[in-house]
Structure 1
């Protein structure tokens, strides 16, 4: 397999769960703790793929071979870690739709799979990359995809732990902005290899905050909120603009939009009141004809009129920029009608510029409206929704 082979990150499918177990076993067996016996507790954790998928998310990095059943044949080096790596490799030879190159799970605080998370935090667990696929950025891409998944939940932070001897993982998480913290029962002194055992691997605990504001929660819309978001969005646009029937129908079409794309809401953290909304595409797709490869587009940014002045539109726009960064995209683009001057001021304040070469006119009834286009480059440094 060449180093340039592309991969896609998506949710694991049920028929891939055995391969996820095998890949996780292999990643552990070829890591810094691979010489240790596997405890019953870890065996149960690794095997519970269906439970992790039901309560949270199990993501996989899949090689771009969507049309072929591939039989995996790994060349496991060394002494095969007492045969466990060989056993994991044999399990990975089962035919699957596209070769699995890596996997990661995200679980909630109330899950049996969680060790650190409290409250509404999300916990990243069991990040593993196939040995022959290491060095291609797959682990980083999986960690960023898990961070995006946590954003969809409205989680205030992602927490995780990694062994004190797992220096590769420590460098990855710290490069992504995770900070060490001391949790209840955390080890205070680093272990030595001689003292380690699978039952008492000492860990370093990490936390990555996802919220910049204590008063606001941004997450995906829930099914029972679809009508409320449609009403909120219509109020927002009717407040300042004269709407055609076609545009009105598009604004209130929240349910079909949520099925095909992502509809986000900003809610007051104290009361739960919905304050604003925006729509973005799912990973690997677009939401309008405007976007080109390497770009993320968004539509229908709306703030309920009583909530204006609270920075809701800015927070939702920054979310779109953060999603583009997490997906490794280069730019964010969007269209805006020439009459939407308030939105134009917001975009200018955030650093967007006009994309004049992609602007065009649309006709609504007897009116001709210029459809402006805006763009901003996506920063690829350590995450910061507020930066």
Structure 2
């Protein structure tokens, strides 16, 4: 692995927020483009970091690290969780820079979350994903996540979007 996974630095909040927004916009994951109501939440890495663990993938020597991707690890049910129940952790907003794809960055970020969950004695890790995020689904399935359709949900009744739930028993 030619990159490092570590907790985010405060100076990286804004760059990761922009990377996340651009990835979602660029891949067509926001139905309302620049006006999508989810956009501010994607951009607010500082808000996420205040209530959950935000991890980044970087390459470099520690002085001028280049951001390759990031993920929010939610250790238990709380303000950042959508699906987590007692004993479960959750993965949110995993993103990889376009130029860093196919290097194992997304899988390494997800594995770092799984390691944290195992260390904390969690019984499972859950996540939800848009049906069109097929590349992410391949990564999750390769790691052992299985669909949990009973937990599929929609963030807004006005949107025609059903998020697909995944679960990995630890």
Report the TM-score, using the length of structure 2 for normalisation.
0.86
SS of residue paired to 1:135: coil
Q: Distance in 1 between matches of 2:73 and 2:25?
A: 21
Q: Distance in 1 between matches of 2:152 and 2:140?
A: 21
Decide whether the 8 Å contact of 1:109 with 1:121 is kept in 2: yes
Q: Does 1:181 align with 2:141?
A: no
Q: Distance in 2 between matches of 1:45 and 1:112?
A: 12
Decide whether the 8 Å contact of 2:152 with 2:162 is kept in 1: no
1:41-56 equivalence runs, <5 A: 42-56=38-52
Q: Distance in 2 between matches of 1:152 and 1:44?
A: 32
From 10, 17, 20, the counterpart of 1:14: 10
Runs of 4+ in 1 over 6 A off after TM superposition: none
| Aligned residue number for residue 101 of structure 1 | 68
Q: Distance in 2 between matches of 1:99 and 1:159?
A: 29
1:1-387 equivalence runs, <5 A: 6-33=2-29, 36-37=32-33, 38-40=35-37, 42-67=38-63, 97-184=64-151, 186=153, 199-210=159-170
Distance 1:153 1:47, change over 3 A: farther
Q: Distance in 2 between matches of 1:100 and 1:199?
A: 32
Distance apart, 1:118 and its partner CA = 1.0
Decide whether the 8 Å contact of 1:52 with 1:106 is kept in 2: no
Distance 1:201 1:156, change over 3 A: same
Distance 1:120 1:39, change over 3 A: farther
Q: Which runs of 5+ in 2 are unaligned?
A: none
**CA RMSD, 1 decimal:** 2.2
Count of matched residue positions in the alignment of Structure 1 and Structure 2? 166
SS of residue paired to 1:66: coil
Q: Which structure is higher in RCO with an 8 Å CA cutoff and minimum separation 6?
A: 2
Report the TM-score, using the length of structure 1 for normalisation.
0.40
Q: Which runs of 5+ in 1 are unaligned?
A: 68-96, 188-197, 211-387
Distance apart, 1:172 and its partner CA = 1.0
